[in-house]
Structure 1
Amino acid sequence: MSDPLPAILNRLDTGQAAALERLFELLRIPSISTDPSYAGPCDDAAEWLVAELRSIGFEASKRETPGRPMVVAHGGEGQRHMLFYGHYDVQPVDPLGLWDGDPFEPVVIRTPTGQAIRARGASDDKGQLMTFLEACRAWRAETGSLPCRITVLFEGEEESGSPSLVPFLRAHADELRADLALICDTGLFDDRVPAIIRSLRGLLGEEITIEGPDRDLHSGLYGGMARNPIRVLTRILGNLHDDRGRVRIPGFYDGVDDLDEATAAAWGELGFSEEEFLGTVGLSSAAGEDDRTGLEQLWSRPTAEINGILGGYTGEGFKTVLPAKASAKVSFRLVGGQDPVRLRENFRDWVLSQVPKDCRVYFADHGASKAARMDTSAPAFEGVRQALSDEWGEEAAFVGFGGSIPIAGHFQQELGMQSVLTGFAKDGDQIHSPNEKYDLDSFHKGARSWARVLARLGS
């Protein structure tokens, strides 16, 4: 039997216009999971995906959860079984005034690197998941089948903490467990080099509220004598790091390993420039641990970051007030064997030790997930690397990833599966920000990439 891959790739080339219109249909659905008022559109997105999967031969269904529904589909035959994961929910669009158009009316725009799709979810993650569906569509249309057994799992709460995910995995473990998971929620390295993720940082979210007086106070009458919660809070937050960029919380670095020499050497060959990377966002010098390279700071070192502070009067003009309370949101990116449960306890104890008399402190947690590391020595990873290299004309790289994609860890812990994480987003896609975009090149070559990957894994 002749190799079907050339015909499949040609079908993807000639079907670009139709594929783009299908993606536009999905992008027009405002599936914002974190806002309860968008529960209906989230349901619509799930229904749309069920219909789309059925149209290319999958047995697909929408599965209800306490939150937004899951979409599960099964197709193909054979001994090899792959699970593909993506998410159909998107981030809120605020601030709306910074968008150049309707976030949910996708358009093709020109950028310095070529044409791109502008819409919320274009890159994270609707455009990415549709690259896989288009590859499956081409395989089915050209050969009448898929190259292996494929299970699809699309989540609707990834952007709001995935509260329903682990219970769903546990309840449906036998149905979902496969030889390998495929996750398309990452990006290229340096915009042209395909990347496979070898490690992911975990994530811990904490919210601190400091309360002082029983009401807001006039700073002329009470200033200097009364305890100011903003002053207390900012002093604590200012103590998070020392002058060398290290985190001061006791036990913070427990479970953090140094980078092995082979990986350090491989990353050194990637030609990463801290100045160029930071220059794209108006910065010039790395601000993390001063004895670590830029890629180490991004991929293999833990972080503590202040994501938001609220307190006092923040409206137009000026108001001389001592606030009754102040709050901050703090996140930690975790690596190696760091234990998020222990770290949460250590952080809270560390904060409490610095709270003075006449102040009370309250904490709220915002999720916790461990770091994950993939065994890239497994043969399937080499097959994916070769497939990506063939498509992009650049040697695919095994890289770290500074973000947190908890699903990979959940697949390891709940289903005993390794995950191949590869995606086609670019650093300038502005995910989670106004004017999110996804390059047409990423969308088209992404679909071709998955077609090649399925050919490798299916054989």
Structure 2
Amino acid sequence: MTMGDKIDAVLDHVDKALPLSLERLFELIRIKSVSTEAAHAQDCRDAAEWLAQDLRGLGFDASVRDTDGHPMVVGHNRADAGPHILFYGHYDVQPVDPLRLWETDPFEPVMKPLPNGDTAIVARGASDDKGQLMTFVEACRAWKAVTGELPVGVSVLFEGEEEAGSPNLMPFLDKTADELAADAIFVCDTDMWDRDTPAVITMVRGLVSQEIEITCADRDLHSGIYGNAARNALQVMGDMIASLRNADGSVAIDGFYDGIRPLPDAVRAQWQSLPFDDEGFLSDVGLSIPAGETDFPVLEQVWARPSCEIHGLWGGYMGDGFKTVIPAKAHAKISFRLVDGQDPEKVRDAFKAHVRNTIPADCSVTFTDIAAAPATVMALDSPFLRKSLGALTEEWGRKAALAGTGGSIPIIGEFKKRLGCDSLLVGFARFDNRIHSPNEKYDLSSFHKGIRSWVRILAALAED
């Protein structure tokens, strides 16, 4: 049997076995694995045990590994030749609050017809990340059922604390780096380009986040007695925040843009060919004027340019009524999204220097470091990328997009640092999946064609 014949047979099996695949997904969804709530600690372990048992049934050497928090699931199906890949997903889910906004039981999946003729799987975790995770597992199941083996060597790592910030993932990777060694890592926790166009995300922005406190006087002051003469911490904070941006939308911190590598012409050309509506992107949220660097289109602003954002600002009296105080302290939460070439530590230090140089000499500032992670970029000449794009294009009948993401996924950088290989982000979620919100959904077509896509990708990776 040729590889083409095998692929056809495995895809046919996927189509016929879809009802059983859905039953298994529903079983996993019903386990209330909310990682951030202590009451669900046993549920998280139950989900890990369920996955390990399912993998063992497919011939994986799989086990549940304890951490200081929720357990990991590790499984191996090694091959004598060819590449070996590591697949990462997470079995934990977000809390369901506010429960009153759910139209059905969050942990009892239901099939809901959609106006476009598709069907939605509605439940917590249906998209993020149980549905996505199971597309890969079901593809492996189909290969095993039809041919008795996988086309390439596969290891899996399923985490139980992604929604809680992955506090135990890095120490775990340090301990298991040799065991988890692979030629490439695949992550299925992302979106398609649009409803009908698959994508491989090759650029992920980094992140530096800080909480700051500016102190002026040694106590809140009466504005009638000290007004004009005494510094107002909120005013000082406001002046500092205003100084972070130039009129053209660029960040005004000295050295902020140091080291940035230009966007490759091939990537820019591919992005320009995508059906992206700058005006529509903003009008969907009630805006019309881009706020980033004026020399760059919106898509580049959110995927390939660094940013500075204010997430919280507070101080003084915030209760009912009015209290005419001059606040002694002001607080803010500020983050920077980073792109390829920026050093998180240097950006953090440059920001601190900017703040210290901006505030008056008789005021002080303290900083709390929250996060610092570099941007990650995958080499465009990677054979894993080329083969994955080809397989996705074959399945969806549309040229797969090379995409970036404006968000930050710190684990991608940690995989590169600790395991020494690149990650490809291949996901089948859609932007209206309501992840982290009530009535989360995963389209049936996403689940079905996601399984078929992984069947093709596994086969493509085995080719010379």
TM-score (norm: length of structure 2):
0.90
Which residue of 2 is the match for residue 56 of structure 1? 58
C-alpha distance 244-104 of structure 1, shift in aligned 2 (>3 A): farther
Q: Aligned partners of 1:339 and 1:318: how far apart in 2?
A: 46
Q: Aligned partners of 1:220 and 1:26: how far apart in 2?
A: 63
C-alpha distance 218-50 of structure 1, shift in aligned 2 (>3 A): farther
Deviation at 1:200, TM superposition (A): 1.3
C-alpha distance 371-102 of structure 1, shift in aligned 2 (>3 A): same
- Look up the SS of the partner of 2:178 in the other structure: helix
C-alpha distance 220-330 of structure 1, shift in aligned 2 (>3 A): same
Alignment of 1:165-314 (within 5 A): 165-212=169-216, 227-312=231-316, 314=318
Deviation at 1:224, TM superposition (A): 5.9
Single out whichever of 234-243 and 344-353 deviates more from structure 2.
234-243
Determine if the alignment matches structure 1 residue 364 to structure 2 residue 392: no
| 2:267 and 2:402 in contact (8 A); partners too | no
Match for 1:398 among 399, 402, 424?
402
Q: Aligned partners of 1:248 and 1:434: how far apart in 2?
A: 39
| 1:186 and 1:425 in contact (8 A); partners too | yes
Which residue of 1 is the match for residue 12 of structure 2? 10
Q: Aligned partners of 1:172 and 1:361: how far apart in 2?
A: 41
Determine if the alignment matches structure 1 residue 106 to structure 2 residue 109: yes
- Look up the SS of the partner of 2:191 in the other structure: coil
Which residue of 1 is the match for residue 451 of structure 2? 447
Give the aligned residue type for 1:174: D
Give the aligned residue type for 2:195: D
Q: Aligned partners of 2:271 and 2:254: how far apart in 1?
A: 30
Q: Aligned partners of 2:225 and 2:94: how far apart in 1?
A: 44
Single out whichever of 8-17 and 339-348 deviates more from structure 2.
8-17
C-alpha distance 314-86 of structure 1, shift in aligned 2 (>3 A): farther
| 2:240 and 2:358 in contact (8 A); partners too | yes
Q: Aligned partners of 1:23 and 1:258: how far apart in 2?
A: 42
Deviation at 1:102, TM superposition (A): 4.3
Q: Aligned partners of 2:176 and 2:59: how far apart in 1?
A: 22
Match for 1:164 among 168, 186, 191?
168
Q: Aligned partners of 1:433 and 1:77: how far apart in 2?
A: 40
C-alpha distance 333-269 of structure 1, shift in aligned 2 (>3 A): same
Single out whichever of 94-103 and 127-136 deviates more from structure 2.
94-103
- Look up the SS of the partner of 2:132 in the other structure: helix
C-alpha distance 312-157 of structure 1, shift in aligned 2 (>3 A): farther
Which residue of 2 is the match for residue 42 of structure 1? 44
Cα RMSD after superposing both structures: 2.5
Q: Aligned partners of 2:257 and 2:21: how far apart in 1?
A: 47
Give the aligned residue type for 2:184: L
Alignment of 1:287-436 (within 5 A): 287-312=291-316, 314=318, 317-320=320-323, 322=325, 325-356=329-360, 359-436=363-440
Q: Aligned partners of 1:86 and 1:454: how far apart in 2?
A: 17
Q: Deviations over 1:40-65 (max 9, x none)?
A: 33333222221222232212111122
Match for 1:27 among 18, 26, 29?
29
Please list every run of 5 or more consecutive structure 2 residues that lacks an aligned counterpart in the other structure.
Answer: none
C-alpha distance 314-27 of structure 1, shift in aligned 2 (>3 A): farther
Deviation at 1:357, TM superposition (A): 5.9
Please list every run of 5 or more consecutive structure 1 residues that lacks an aligned counterpart in the other structure.
Answer: none
Give the aligned residue type for 1:85: Y
Deviation at 1:332, TM superposition (A): 1.4
| 2:96 and 2:438 in contact (8 A); partners too | yes
Deviation at 1:86, TM superposition (A): 1.1
C-alpha distance 313-23 of structure 1, shift in aligned 2 (>3 A): farther
TM-score (norm: length of structure 1):
0.91
Deviation at 1:254, TM superposition (A): 0.9
Q: Deviations over 1:349-377 (max 9, x none)?
A: 22222334664432222221111111231
Give the aligned residue type for 2:91: Y
Deviation at 1:205, TM superposition (A): 1.7
| 1:76 and 1:145 in contact (8 A); partners too | no
Q: Aligned partners of 2:241 and 2:372: how far apart in 1?
A: 20
Q: Aligned partners of 1:131 and 1:387: how far apart in 2?
A: 15
